Amino acid sequence: MNQLGWRLISRDAWRSVLAMAGIATAVLIVFVEMGFMNGILDSQLRIVEAVRGDLVVLDKRRLHLDKWDGLLPIHLSQIAVVPGVAAVMPLYQAGMNLRNGPDRPDRRVVVLAFSPDDPPLELGWSRAALDSLREPERVLFDRKSRPIYGELAVGQALWLEGRRVRLGGYVSLGPTVIIDGVMVSSESTLKSINPGVRPIMAVVRVAPGADIERVKRAILGRAGEDIDVFRPGELADREITYLRRTAPIGLLFGAGMAAGLFVGLVICYQVLYVAIRRRIQAYATLKAMGFGNAFVIGVILHQAVLYAAGGFLIGLLAAFLLYQELALRTGLAIFLTAPRIGAIALACLLASVVAGLAAARQVIHCDPAELY
């Protein structure tokens, strides 16, 4: 049966290649839709993954990370005296206009600020770059930001909200769908430019040996009416849930993935249907020789799986190359993982089996004598 399915495909190699190309196109559509959806989600979680602590405290009104409600300063003092809290590291965030020259146009950038002595995030800086933040009006630039800001060199003068600052080095974070670029400064530098800025979150480091859940409950008990407290993993789960359910991202890209799978199913069905019609007498002969429906279905499904495997591999290669280009041009975290590849491979296989069973009906429901 395995050899028969392969021989039927190889006898008409040109048609088989065209069929696999059609299925590959559908597979590529699914990969692209999935890539953009996961790219948006993964990019949004970069700042959560960079947290250097056990707990993250947010204002209760901040239902997602693109909402910028800040914490009251008193919250930091309340958290600091909770038993089991070793350190409270505030993180400030502000949107500002950035110019890389006195006569250059302004570009909007997000500025993250904190104390360089105990940063709440790990942003891939060098020791020298982090130390430079201790100097007044020194900033770091995210090297993964979109290219709208131009080429920036260490030591170069920049203007934030009209205030002259100097670039001390780089970090590695990356943009999101909403944020094009990130600048990092010390808390004192940001407050000198924007005195009214409030911390956007606080990262809490729990003392060694202390129970994290108990500390979390104690923080909520002291200031819980105005704040939410999460472990980093819990915050990531909340953000993904918001983006997939409350925001239309899951629905939009999920519909695109479903459409791609449907296209692949239709293409596979059409290819098998035509192949069966062209060889209907051969299948009739098999049935007349005593081969049952199970054997015939097996031959057809084997062809369907071979078509799907060839189309999937072509689509996967195209997706790998396209992901690299999309990640470079958008700055989003678009990449392939084994579970994501496996999920689409399984979906492609199931679609091909459904198409094969549907195409096999024309042989199963006919009497061998009538097929002649």
Q: What is the pLDDT of residues 206-215, one digit of tens each?
A: 999 999 999 9
In a domain, 189, yes or no: yes
Give the C-alpha separation, 63 to 231, whole Å: 15
Instruction: Supply the range of the domain harboring residue 253.
Output: 2-44+248-364
SS3 169: strand
What length does the chain have?
A: 372
Per-residue pLDDT tens digits for 249-278: 777 788 888 888 888 888 878 877 777 776
Tell me, what's the pLDDT at 348? Answer: 86
Count of domains for the chain:
2
Same domain, 218 and 291: no
Instruction: Please write the tens of the pLDDT for every residue from 326-359.
Output: 998 888 889 999 999 999 999 888 888 888 888 7
The reply to whether 80 and 222 lie within a common domain is: yes
pLDDT at 281 over 80: no
* pLDDT, position 368: 60
Give the pLDDT of residue 337: 92
Kindly tell me if the per-residue pLDDT of 372 is higher than 60: no
Q: What does the angle CA 241 – CA 245 – CA 246 come to, to the nearest 5 degrees?
A: 100
The pLDDT of residue 111: 96
- For the chain, the average pLDDT equals 87
Between 101 and 158, the more confident residue is: 158
Q: Are residues 137 and 269 in the same domain?
A: no
Burial class of residue 115 in the structure, from the number of CB atoms within 10 Å of its CB (0-12 exposed, 13-18 middle, 19+ buried) = middle
pLDDT at 279: 66
pLDDT at 282: 67
Give all strands (DSSP E) within 84-136, no chain letters. Answer: 85-99, 107-114
Same domain for 116 and 217? yes
pLDDT band at 138 (very low <50, low <70, confident <90, very high): very high
